[in-house]
Amino acid sequence: MKGESLRTLWAEWAAVHGESGVRIGCCLMDPSGRVWWEQDSEKHFIPASNQKLWTAGTALDRLGPEFRWQTRFSWEEGICWIRGGGDPGFDEAQSAVVAVEMKRAGLKRLSEFRLDCSVNPDPVWAPGWMWDDLGEGFAAPVSAFVSEGNRIRFSAHPGPKGPVWTWKPEGAQIGLDADVCWDSTRPTDVKVRRKRDTNHFFLQGTLSKDEPHVEGAVASGPHFFVEGLTRMCRKAGIQVDRDPRIRFEPYRQVTNEWIQSSYPLTAFLSRVNGDSDNLTAEILLRTVGRDHNGVFSHARGLETLSNHWRELGVEPPARQTDGSGLSPYNAVTPRALASWMRRRLDLPHRKEWMDSLARWGISGTLERRPPLSAPMAVAAKTGSLTGVRSLTGYLLRDGGAVVAIFSLLINGLLEDEHGERLQDQFVEWLCREHAGV
């Protein structure tokens, strides 16, 4: 009967929205791991950002919750050497700390920055990322040098002739051409493109006043990092040449040195599982694959993940191309994802794992979902690509006890928002089923 009611739900949804060609895979487990309903659960689907569940879980196990990245700075009058550490959370606040320390040590002037990118020798984009996405904020370059997520955040404000734009970080040197108008009937839909090798952005589309923000990916992580540090140095009272020279060479430690450590790994898990940040997920993958010298590797990261799953006795993804799920070349089964989520309940750091997930109607990518009619809660990870919507996670009672594990993968959508409506209906059904409503 449960299966029939879900199949009826699928059929009615497809008829209403004209989605007759869609593929739906689903696996429902109880906390013991028993599968109590499934549909096409052993067929392959594009998981989109549900891929992050594999990456984040393995990183938590292999690196530990207190792992930190380090960025090294050394300087003498006129020159600053920096060894990028791949810290995905480095921002202007940390740049300000470094600048104050350099000023306190007596530095008066900088004319040159010498950057060491050797910790992350791989390409700045992962395999399978689409070329026409590379200006979008979700495709920020994965670099040894990250500042403010390697993104520009544009904000629109009402003006007499359309949107008026501001951006953060304030003072970032960018160009902007925008052909954007307000549309109160639909969510924000703005395509972001960037002129090659520059931070000149082109925005085109419609904006909702409920979502007046758009993000663009910068052209170069190292140059953007230096730009932000330069602003903070000037604020600290250090004179920096108008166009300081940037050179790439091995790090050199001189008399003065400062090591800036990142926040602990746990601070980044919610970025990956809750907010679905692709750059952070890719850095986690490469960090898991680091060698004895600390050098990152995408390929070794994928190998380490596979070895980890074998050690845990978990069925791996059918095909893993990147760590974030932005590549459409990934393939996974709903049963494998549900089994991974079930296995995580028995592993160390369970609380950190549960806390990292988005909460239905409360946080992360699930913040705006409709209220549930039953006294239940949902902790889950979403996934979104064109034509793809995925949702994998836990159904919880109010006290936090897991009562069900689910993975719902939808491929082949004609309209992406239709997939989110099906997710809403599915979760409501699941809650009512377990609440006895």
Which tens digit of pLDDT belongs to each residue from 75-119? 999 999 999 999 999 999 999 999 999 999 999 999 999 999 999
Helix/strand/coil (H, E, C) string of 107-155? Answer: CCEEEEEEEECCCCCCCCCCCCCCHHHCCEHHHCCCCCCCCHHHEEEEE
Distances in Å between the Cα of 303 and the Cα atoms of 15, 80, 88, 235, 285 are 43, 36, 22, 45, 10
**Predicted local confidence at residue 4, as pLDDT:** 83
Residue 364 φ/ψ region, left for φ over 0, alpha for ψ in the -120 to 50 degree band, beta for the rest: left
Please write the tens of the pLDDT for every residue from 197-222: 999 999 999 999 889 999 999 999 99
- What architecture (CATH level 2) is domain 2-65+267-435? 3-Layer(aba) Sandwich (3.40)
Angle at 100 between CA 246 and CA 221, to 5 degrees: 35
pLDDT digits (tens, 9 = 90+) for 410-433: 999 999 999 999 999 999 999 999
Give the pLDDT confidence of 113-141 residue by residue, as tens digits: 999 999 999 999 999 999 999 999 999 99
The span from the CA of 36 to the CA of 239, in Å, is 67
Determine which helix (DSSP H) or strand (DSSP E) holds 409, and give its type and residue range.
Answer: strand 402-411
Q: Which residues pair with 404 in a beta bridge?
A: 395
Q: pLDDT per residue over 313-372, tens digit each? A: 998 999 999 999 999 999 999 999 999 999 999 999 999 999 999 999 999 999 999 999
The tens digit of pLDDT for each residue in 387-415 reads 999 999 999 997 789 999 999 999 999 99
Q: Cα 371 from chain centroid?
A: 25
pLDDT at 190 over 90: yes
Q: Which residues contact 159 (CB under 8 A, 6 or more apart)?
A: none
Q: Which helix (H) or strand (E) holds 423?
A: helix 416-435
Choice among 156-160, 220-224, 278-282, 298-302 with the minimum mean pLDDT: 156-160
Instruction: Domain ranges for the chain, please list them.
Output: 2-65+267-435, 72-263
Bridge partners, 396 (sequence order): 377, 402
